């Protein structure tokens, strides 16, 4: 495997899901990229949009531009309980280039789970195919989040259905305490306590969409937010990644001179 493809693989495995997860947020810095997942995908103003829906589970779909620039649509599942979250993603169905997908499958990394635990100041990136996970600290600014400092302005755009679900379509403008504004378009289900079954945001001119299906507003089992006891633990994502790339040519998996 050449160096360019290997580095692109690292980008896919470490950044694709995290960047998609980070899109529907309004503050920047800390916690993204190789450093680890965001603590709470509904932090700040978006947490207010959830209203009384502090816990839920659902099937979900993340759509955004991938590391190659092509649009990716990744299916998965989510469980959420007042900041704690578990996201299960199947990268084999996300529209990756064939060569990259074949390598990810060969490495056993096409399925991943991200668990964020702000209460423990910790996140886990789990690969069931490897029976392994990376444990990473969450940055302080991703843990301490005062929702009261965000202001939310709502403008109704009309009524539409999402996946057969009757919704009210709204434009949401979120302002933080420094008057930084972020705009979202959301579809709130009328028979699910206004749960936002679809959220569109734009960052640096790139739109990202989160769509939720088969939403259940019951509290998920707490065991879903724990790291697997029988999986091998790594101190960070890169340590896990380099271990899997050993034997693919050269020190650390990079072919010499490529």
Tell me the pLDDT tens digit for each residue of 115-128: 989 889 888 989 99
Which one has a higher pLDDT value, 14 or 87? 87
Distance, CA of 122 to CA of 143 (rounded, Å): 9
Largest CA distance in the chain: 60
Beta pairing, strands 122-127 & 132-137: antiparallel
| Ramachandran angles phi, psi of 51, nearest 5° | 60, -125
* Least-confidence region, from 33-37, 91-95, 149-153, 224-228: 33-37
> Does residue 169 surpass a pLDDT of 50?
yes
Tell me the whole-structure pTM to 2 decimals: 0.77
Residue 146: the pLDDT is 62
Q: Stretch 73-81: mean pLDDT, rounded?
A: 89
Q: What sign does the dihedral 22-23-29-33 (CA atoms) show?
A: positive
Domains in the chain: ranges and CATH = 3-149+212-252 (2.50.20)
List C-alpha distances in Å: 83 to 8, 47, 67, 139, 225.
31, 9, 27, 15, 11
Distance, CA of 128 to CA of 92 (rounded, Å): 14
List C-alpha distances in Å: 50 to 28, 85, 113, 148, 168.
21, 14, 23, 14, 14
């Amino acid at each position: 495997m050449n160096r360019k493809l290997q580095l692109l693989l690292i980008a896919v495995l470490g950044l694709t899901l995290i960047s998609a997860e980070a899109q529907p947020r309004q503050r920047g810095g800390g916690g993204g990229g190789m450093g680890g997942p965001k603590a709470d995908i509904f932090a700040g103003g978006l947490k207010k949009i959830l209203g009384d829906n502090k816990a839920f589970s659902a099937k979900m779909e993340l759509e955004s531009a991938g590391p190659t620039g092509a649009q990716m649509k990744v299916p998965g599942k989510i469980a959420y309980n007042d900041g704690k979250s578990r996201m299960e993603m199947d990268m084999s169905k996300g529209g990756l280039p064939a060569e990259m997908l074949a390598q990810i499958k060969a490495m056993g990394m096409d399925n991943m789970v991200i668990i964020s635990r702000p209460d423990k100041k910790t996140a886990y990136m789990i690969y069931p195919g490897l029976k392994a996970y990376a444990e990473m600290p969450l940055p302080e600014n991703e843990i301490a989040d005062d929702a009261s400092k965000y202001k939310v302005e709502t403008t109704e755009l009309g009524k539409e259905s999402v996946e057969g679900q009757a919704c009210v379509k709204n434009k949401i403008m979120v302002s933080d305490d420094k008057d930084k504004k972020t705009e979202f378009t959301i579809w709130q289900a009328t028979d699910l306590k206004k749960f936002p079954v679809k959220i569109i945001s734009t960052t640096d001119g790139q739109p990202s969409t989160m769509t939720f299906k088969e939403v259940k507003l019951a509290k998920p089992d707490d065991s879903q937010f724990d790291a697997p006891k029988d999986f091998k633990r790594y101190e960070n994502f890169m340590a896990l990644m380099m271990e899997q790339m050993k034997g693919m040519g050269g020190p650390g998996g990079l072919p010499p001179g490529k």
